[in-house]
Structure 1
């Protein structure tokens, strides 16, 4: 069983998003009703416009609101049992790689960024196996997915092959390497796209995107794979909710 711990840093935009969620939960804004304008939210929360835009982006990605160009933001629904949601990064560990809309990009060994090395417990500059894919939704770019593996974890598996797996990464590690996974720790942030990410997602340079950073741990508490998922702000909501009632 995977136990998910989602750790957030406390930037202002998350506080704004949480405040709007509470107002929706308590009925201040009903389904289909329009939220206050960005300018009004700036005044109400004492935040900058960029902060408010990021908060609304989070709410849209989580399925709380729809945003209509030129009209504003409207309440879509109150997600049921939000504590059971599957994170963006966790999804890349537990669903088959070859899901609809997935496009294989590359599998290669390269030096990883410092946060990835730290999460996997390897020295900075250590070569790691990087698998990359693009995800499309109705032909439109939705996300760029990067999976990082220690080379010793990827040995004697199909992870270095240039094709999408028909099973999940978690299943593949279990069947090929007998690795038992235990939990996922995931962080979600809004940031500006790099030039490479903007090109892949067909966005303007510097466009805001959602960035998920998730680590899958085995039963000995060793990080065995890191998922970095960059999601277009134009994509449909990326969180999944499961009704367990």
Structure 2
């Protein structure tokens, strides 16, 4: 499922670069503008540009050639059906490219749902990194990253400073793990008092919660990202081919 809301800067850049490729402004086989050129033209940070180019590469719009740069492939055959999933977006994007603040980073007792999703031992302890994301200077999403204690150890996730890298890239480079796939669960419920306060929600408004569990190729859960969103600010959409 994909989340329709005010997109972060790197997602806006992805949309514009896709538009240029479709319009022929960047023709198939031609070199993409360099990172520095995109930074200067769009007035964004390097992490924003890197995150956007990574999404375009993963979706098949461009490819990278060692020592030569990035080149246009063109519009993928199923591009109109390939919406980025919530977990994919949150794992790939640089924290520094998304407005918000780090609310917590430390060891806590995980909820029963997170314990089950992560397969935690009887202690139920997990590392939590929680961020409040904003859009138009207003609270938009409450994003919580849950990790087993050994996976969080030795990473920059324990810092209160936004990561310049995406979470996936950071963990794969620091811990040597490989995130293979994501399983998402979506629930609707009323917010807790703390969620309602932090998100400045109107009384009686429910929330949508997306639990995205990233696993390795063997199916072992590595981390959980849960995103709490006021239901009056977001909607869910999915697109898929008919075989």
User: Aligning the two structures, in what range does the TM-score lie when normalised by the shorter sequence?
Assistant: 0.5 to 0.7
Matches within 5 A, 1:138-177: 138-177=136-175
**By how many angstroms is 1:234 displaced?**
3.9
**By how many angstroms is 1:194 displaced?**
1.2
SS in 2 for 1:152: helix
Identify which of 103, 109, 112 aligns with 2:110. 112
In the alignment, what sits opposite 1:218?
216
State the distance in 2 between where 1:138 and 1:238 align: 20
State the distance in 1 between where 2:234 and 2:209 align: 15
**By how many angstroms is 1:238 displaced?**
7.1
In the alignment, what sits opposite 1:14?
none
State the distance in 2 between where 1:104 and 1:178 align: 25
**By how many angstroms is 1:81 displaced?**
6.0
**By how many angstroms is 1:86 displaced?**
2.1
**By how many angstroms is 1:173 displaced?**
0.7
Which runs of 5 or more residues in structure 1 are unaligned? 1-5, 7-79
RMSD value, Cα: 2.4
Equivalent residues of 1:187, 1:214 under 8 A apart: yes
| TM-score, with length taken from structure 1 | 0.61
- Against the structure 1 CA distance between its residues 232 and 81, is the aligned structure 2 distance closer, same or farther, given a 3 Å change threshold? farther
SS in 2 for 1:164: coil
| TM-score, with length taken from structure 2 | 0.61
In the alignment, what sits opposite 1:187?
185
State the distance in 2 between where 1:209 and 1:110 align: 23
Which runs of 5 or more residues in structure 2 are unaligned? 2-77
Structure 1 segments, 4+ long, off by >4 Å, are 80-83, 236-241
**By how many angstroms is 1:205 displaced?**
3.9
- Higher relative contact order (CA closer than 8 Å, sequence separation 6+): 1
**By how many angstroms is 1:155 displaced?**
1.4
- Against the structure 1 CA distance between its residues 238 and 166, is the aligned structure 2 distance closer, same or farther, given a 3 Å change threshold? farther
1:196-232 alpha-carbon deviations (Å, 9 max, x no partner): 1111111134421111011001223211110110012
Matches within 5 A, 1:4-43: none
In the alignment, what sits opposite 1:95?
93
